[in-house]
């Protein structure tokens, strides 16, 4: 089954990936060819429209804007209807009003993890790293998990020769401990929050919580990660390994739930920083550790996304699947 979307491309297109801290912009000048990639701090602009306008007026972007008619934005926020109000930043906007402000014929706004999921079939070998064994099965469901500020979970399923992205809040599913240390961490979460979700552990704050429960002390996620990577602190190394083990367990749960025989991908901002330590961690062993279903998980490959701006691939694919309607 050919899962490549039917593409329309009638001129340069504005693409953006908007988080709570930074807004990343690019212009797609040909299919999957991204030019003038620029990162703007959200705090420097009163609105997304102002940030986009500043980007389009920049020396890098301006040569491509004359024929621009289409745009697509991935945003770290639920997108339900025309009004978007960011939960991790002060920006709010109407999609239709922003389209008019930017003088575009088409403007799509989608959740950032939906965009990341839609990017998966388009990643080249150089944009991902395999962790462990397994063989991906073409045209089968693909899973996605991504620890960052929170924990994103998604996937894509084949549908009528195309891919459909799943809208999921799987990061908030309950976490099941697999050993005494994880049980102690879950007990801490029960006391503090009443619920132990996967996101409480698989996030920047989650690394800090794991370290705090293990040692009784406090360090920032950046410090814990750095000390683990340079091998200077056994407690930090243990905390990162615990984090990776939990990620493997939860990723295995997602793979089982979705039947992700097309592969399981890890995105988000945390894991790529771990480098070789992640490949050597308990992640893959815990991914497969599902009792009688271990052989099933062993056949599913796991990949770490290494592409710096994968959301551009995703929003480009989503935009290409839209009918070529014009206002």
Residue 326: C-alpha distances to residues 66, 69, 108, 322 (Å)? 17, 9, 13, 11
Q: What is the pLDDT of residue 324?
A: 52
- Domain of 161 in residue numbering reads as 124-305
The confidence score (pLDDT) of residue 46 equals: 97
pLDDT at 156: 96
Instruction: Quote the tokens at residue 200.
Output: 């409480």
pTM score over 0.75: yes
Residues 71 and 171 in one domain: no
In this prediction, the residues of the chain whose per-residue pLDDT falls under 70 are 1-9, 323-327
Q: What is the model's pLDDT at position 167?
A: 81
Q: In this structure, are 267 and 133 located in the same domain?
A: yes
**Residue 286 lies inside a defined structural domain of this protein:** yes
Considering the domain boundaries, does residue 107 fall inside one? yes
In three-state form (DSSP H/G/I as H, E/B as E, the rest C), the secondary structure along 231-274 is: CCCHHHHHHHHHHHHHHHHHHHHHHHHHCCCCCEEECCCCHHHH
- Asked if the structure places residue 67 within a domain, the reply is yes
CA 111 to chain CA mean position, Å: 10
* CATH at 215: 3.40.367.20
* % of the chain surpassing 70 pLDDT: 96
- Report the pLDDT value the prediction gives residue 326, as an integer from 0 to 100: 43
Claim to verify: residue 262 and residue 171 sit in the same structural domain: yes
Same domain membership, residue 191 and residue 141 = yes
Sign (positive/negative) of CA torsion 235, 241, 244, 250? negative
Rounded distance, CA 90 to CA 76, Å? 13
Do 199 and 99 fall into the same domain? no
Q: What CATH number is attached to the domain comprising 57?
A: 3.30.420.40
Whole-number pLDDT of residue 1: 35
């Amino acid at each position: 089954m050919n899962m490549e979307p039917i593409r329309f491309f009638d001129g340069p297109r504005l693409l953006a990936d908007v988080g709570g801290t930074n807004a990343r912009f690019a212009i797609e000048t040909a299919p999957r060819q991204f030019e003038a990639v620029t990162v703007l701090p959200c705090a420097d602009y009163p609105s997304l429209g102002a940030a986009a306008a500043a980007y389009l007026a920049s020396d890098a972007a301006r040569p491509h804007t004359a024929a621009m008619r289409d745009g697509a934005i991935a945003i770290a926020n639920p997108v339900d209807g025309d009004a978007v109000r960011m939960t991790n930043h002060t920006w709010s906007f109407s999609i239709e009003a922003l389209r008019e402000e930017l003088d575009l014929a088409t403007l799509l706004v989608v959740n950032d993890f939906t965009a990341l999921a839609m990017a998966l079939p388009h990643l080249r070998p150089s944009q991902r790293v395999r962790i462990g064994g397994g063989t991906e099965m073409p045209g089968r469901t693909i899973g996605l998990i991504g620890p960052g500020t929170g924990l994103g979970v998604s996937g894509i399923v084949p549908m009528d020769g195309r891919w459909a992205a799943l809208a999921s809040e799987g990061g908030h599913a309950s976490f099941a401990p697999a050993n005494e240390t994880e049980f102690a961490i879950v007990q801490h979460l029960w006391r503090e929050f009443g619920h132990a979700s996967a996101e409480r552990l698989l996030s920047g704050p989650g690394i800090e919580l794991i370290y705090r429960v293990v040692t009784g002390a406090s360090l920032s996620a950046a410090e814990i990660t750095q000390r683990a990577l340079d091998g200077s602190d056994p407690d930090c190394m243990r905390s990162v390994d615990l984090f990776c083990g939990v990620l493997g367990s939860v990723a295995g749960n997602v793979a089982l739930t979705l039947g992700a025989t097309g592969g399981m991908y890890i995105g988000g901002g945390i894991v790529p920083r771990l480098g070789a330590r992640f490949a050597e961690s308990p992640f893959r062993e815990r991914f497969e550790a599902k009792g009688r279903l271990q052989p099933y998980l062993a056949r599913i490959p796991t990949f770490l996304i290494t592409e710096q701006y994968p959301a551009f691939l995703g929003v480009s694919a989503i935009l290409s699947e839209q009918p070529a309607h014009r206002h």
